[in-house]
Amino acid sequence: MQVIPAIDFRDGKVVNLKQGQLNRITTYSDDPVGMADHWVSLGAERLHMVDLDGAFKGRPVNQNAVATIARNHPSLTIQLGGGIRNEATIEAYLNAGVDYLIIGTRAVDEPEFVTTVCREFPGHIIVGLDGLDGMVARNGWEEVTDSTVRSLALAFAADGIEAIVYTDISKDGMMGGINLEATLDLVNSVGVPIIASGGVTDLQDIRDLLTSEQIQEKKGEIPGGIMGVITGRALYEGTLNLKEAIDLCRNRQI
């Protein structure tokens, strides 16, 4: 399991939104590129980036910063979401050095789009499912749909997606602990890797995820498993030490 630092872009800055709300925004840095350098220097091998401007506008906005980070760290794995609504955007980001594109809103609105891009860009597509009380939210979390997270996850699993990023909106940015029950329910329901997101507070959350993963491994109940956990505010607020978290996952001694 990888610990994946998050870099959320808003107006060219690194920010965090509590429960996806723009009126509850905290700015952590004016230098996204420098922040990426910092996380890599501490051992990060994968970054989770979200173009929040793009998510709300429906088109890429911070692509220059993303491309610079990819160019500066060619061995870094980058997964990116926010404003990815068409094939041209996916192709442009792949050419810029992004490894995985996260399809969120359009996956919910047009599930057939996921089928198409998995066929056109095999090995590069992740679906982002953002849930509130088990229901999927869309359009930068501004709208809650009548589709369940589990039903959509099952529908996308057959398309050849690489993973699902599952975010519990009620937990996101709140540093109140991850929704372990909902995350494990998804792991046990869908045979693709799950990347957990939302609510990571400290090293205990990482231990809890590792413990659950190891229990499932022993039972042989891990078709996809928890391949990673995304953390943002906990790193920026200093309640989680990235190097300690990475070492814990590598050693798997909980």
- Asked if 147 contacts 176 with a C-beta cutoff of 8 angstroms, the reply is no
Active site residue 99: no
> Amino acid identity, residue 70?
A
Specify the DSSP element, H or E, that contains 150. helix 149-157
> Amino acid identity, residue 32?
P
E-assigned strands of 18-99?
25-29, 46-51, 77-81
Distance of alpha carbon 132 from alpha carbon 134, whole angstroms? 5
Q: Which of 51, 130, 159, 168 is catalytic?
A: 130
Q: Crossing angle, helix 63-72 and helix 87-95, to 10 degrees? A: 30
For residue 150, how many other CB atoms are within 10 A of its CB? 18
Active site residue 30: no
Closest CA to 208 of 249, 174, 159, 175: 249
Q: Which of 8, 51, 159, 205 is catalytic?
A: 8
- Asked if 146 contacts 157 with a C-beta cutoff of 8 angstroms, the reply is no
Question: What residues are labeled active site?
Answer: 8, 130
